Amino acid sequence: MAVVAIPKASEEATSAPTPTTQPNTITLRISRFNPSNDSLPTFAEFKIPVQKWTTVLEAILHVKQNLDHSIAVRYSCRQASCGSCGMKINGKPALACYTKISEIGSKVVTVEPMSNFPIIRDLAVDFKQLFSDHKKMKPFIMRDDSEITPGTKEFVQTPKDLEKFLQFSYCIKCGLCNSACPTMATDESFIGPQGLAQAYRYVADNRDQGKKDRLKIVDQSHGIWRCHFAGSCSHVCPKGVDPAMAIQLLRGYLMGFRK
Amino acid sequence: MRESIIMKIHYGTALAAVALVAVHILFRMTQKFSDSLSYQNVIANYHFLPYALMLEVVLILLSVHGFNGLRVILLELKQGVAYERAINYGSIAATVALVAYGSRTILMAGMGMS
Amino acid sequence: MAERLSNREGIRGMANPTRYGIERVAYWLQRLTGLGLLAYLIGHIYETSSIVNGKVAWEKMLELTQTPQGHIILTIVIGMCVYHTANGIRVMLGHGGIGVGKPGEPEYPYKAASLNYKQRLCIWVSIALAALAMMYGAAVLFGD
């Protein structure tokens, strides 16, 4: 019979794992801006301890819990699935939960709200335009018949068919691509890489019959032709969606290179 | 006009211009560069009808491509109905003006009016 | 205030080529060379128009442009022309969906297939061709 001994308090203290690495101290600079009170953003600086595994989001939450409760930051899943914590980290758009401070390789980490999105407060930005442009692309299967019509079967799709659009369906709408896009930097009416990539995701789906409609939507003066294949969107995408590829493949239909 | 048609014209003019500008440059390389620019030589070029016609085509291609490129850049810089209309019509006007001015040179030099 | 609220990066962000790899540099160079070439086209049409005013006017114009400074400008124009053409063909093919990779299951660390080595190679080749053309052009112009 196995005997489980409850360790005494003194034993417990000695048996606890000892940290193998001492925390480093970094300076976290957080952009502060409240549109209703401020005319310009300012930076608040905090010295905080970090471990090898500390993410930027954890660092911000450390500040929020211990040093300044008033910092506004949007986050949810902490595992690069929800797309809430996009921000500029040392000048480049990235997910805060997906970026380890040790990987940045700097003792000073500056976090700012994503560019090309209106600031709600501090690090939280407004996604209204992104969601509106996403909706304009009709992000659903368009066809006359339905799988739920009595007497019909489900739509058949081979793994090869699936591969044509699967990677584009991994978009988590974090907005990093729109933040990195050079056209979005000045063009307020541009649909943006997120919306255009989603248009291709449905056009490439063999169950969909809305290609003509979507091509008409993107073929306008602030549509697909304002993408110049700078590739910055794909450079920052945290899910491997590769919006630049989707946009060029979609444009292939308009150029007559694809049927 | 649909943006896709405008952009197809943009790409088409680019490809055609590449070929014709190459011929234009080769004409300067048939002899010493400074000699190729001598008055008699240039006038002789303008009097050679196929070359003069080619220059006219190059002028049209590059003007259309260049000012459409500028239109694209300007449309991306600022938005607004009045501004965009001004840019669209402005680029057409600039293209027409440049083609007219360049054609005047080709025509007058070609017809020996200089 | 409106600029701050919309939080657009503006021209400075659009024209900053340093943050997103060679593809962004290529985009920036394409714009810059395009604008430069348009300026040259206008200038070139203006300078050649002097031929309609006779031999004296033409030679006066040549005196003004066929100088070391004029040759330097022309050498830069040659480089801009070659880069804009070569990179333009790459971009044009890319716009048609050629050479941008094939969609597939993304795998960590999620390297974008559209930013592949063929694209990067073409950008470097465009830059190299422009440099070579500039060297040749300078040799012809200054060798006279």
Mean pLDDT of chain A: 91
A219 interaction partners in chain B (CB closer than 8 Å): 2-4
pLDDT score recorded for residue C144: 64
Kindly state the average pLDDT of the residues A96-124: 96
Cβ contact A86:A94 at 8 Å: yes
Domains identified in chain A and CATH numbers: 24-125 (3.10.20.30), 128-148+155-255 (1.10.1060.10)
pLDDT score recorded for residue A147: 72
Q: Report yes or no for ipTM above 0.90.
A: yes
Residue A16 Cα to chain centre, angstroms: 38
Cβ contact A166:A208 at 8 Å: no
pLDDT score recorded for residue C121: 97
pLDDT score recorded for residue A153: 77
Residue among B6, B76, B84 minimizing CB distance to A183: B76
Residue A19 has pLDDT above 60, yes or no: no
What is the β-pairing status of strands A24-32 and A108-112?
Answer: parallel
H helices of chain A, in order, are: 9-15, 56-66, 101-104, 128-136, 159-163, 176-180, 192-203, 211-218, 232-236, 243-255
**A219 and chain B in contact, CB less than 8 A:** yes
Mean pLDDT of chain B: 94
Q: Between these two residues, B99 and B28, which has the higher pLDDT value?
A: B99
Residue A13 has pLDDT above 80, yes or no: no
Q: How confident is the model at residue C143 (pLDDT cuts 50, 70, 90)?
A: confident
With a CB-CB cutoff of 8 Å, which residues 5-64 of chain C face chain A?
Answer: 5-11, 13-14, 19-21, 23-24, 26-27, 30
Kindly state the average pLDDT of the residues A77-86: 96
Kindly state the average pLDDT of the residues C48-56: 93
- Neighbouring subunits of C (3+ Cβ pairs under 8 A): A, B
Residue among A40, A246, A251 minimizing CB distance to C95: A251
Percent of chain B's residues with pLDDT above 90: 83
- Model pLDDT for residues C102-129, shown as the tens digit of each residue: 999 988 889 999 999 999 999 999 999 9
pLDDT score recorded for residue C131: 98
Give C15's contacts (C-beta < 8 A, 6+ positions apart): C28, C31
Q: Where are the domains of chain B?
A: 3-110
Tell which CATH classification among 1.25.40, 1.10.3470, 3.90.550, 1.20.1300 matches the domain C25-100+108-143.
Answer: 1.20.1300
- Model pLDDT for residues A196-219, shown as the tens digit of each residue: 999 999 999 999 999 999 999 999
Give C66's contacts (C-beta < 8 A, 6+ positions apart): B34, B37
- C62 to B37: CB separation less than 8 angstroms, yes or no: yes
Q: Where are the domains of chain C?
A: 25-100+108-143
- B76 to A186: CB separation less than 8 angstroms, yes or no: yes
Q: How confident is the model at residue A15 (pLDDT cuts 50, 70, 90)?
A: very low
Q: Which long-range contacts (CB under 8 A, 24 or more apart) does C66-71 make?
A: C66/B34, C66/B37, C68/C142, C71/C138, C71/C141, C71/C142
Q: How confident is the model at residue A111 (pLDDT cuts 50, 70, 90)?
A: very high
Kindly state the average pLDDT of the residues A66-77: 97
- Terminal C-alpha separation, chain A: 73
Residue among C14, C94, C105 minimizing CB distance to A167: C105
Residue A16 has pLDDT above 80, yes or no: no
Residue A114 has pLDDT above 90, yes or no: yes
- A163 to C13: CB separation less than 8 angstroms, yes or no: no
| Range scoring the smallest mean pLDDT among A45-54, A150-159, B65-74, C122-131 | A150-159
Kindly state the average pLDDT of the residues A35-63: 95
Cβ contact A225:B7 at 8 Å: yes
- Model pLDDT for residues A151-169, shown as the tens digit of each residue: 777 888 999 999 999 999 9
Residue A103 has pLDDT above 60, yes or no: yes
Percent of chain A's residues with pLDDT above 70: 92
Residue A14 has pLDDT above 60, yes or no: no
- CATH code for the domain defined by B3-110: 1.20.1300
Residue A27 phi, psi (nearest 5): -100, 120
pLDDT score recorded for residue A185: 96
Residue A4 has pLDDT above 70, yes or no: no
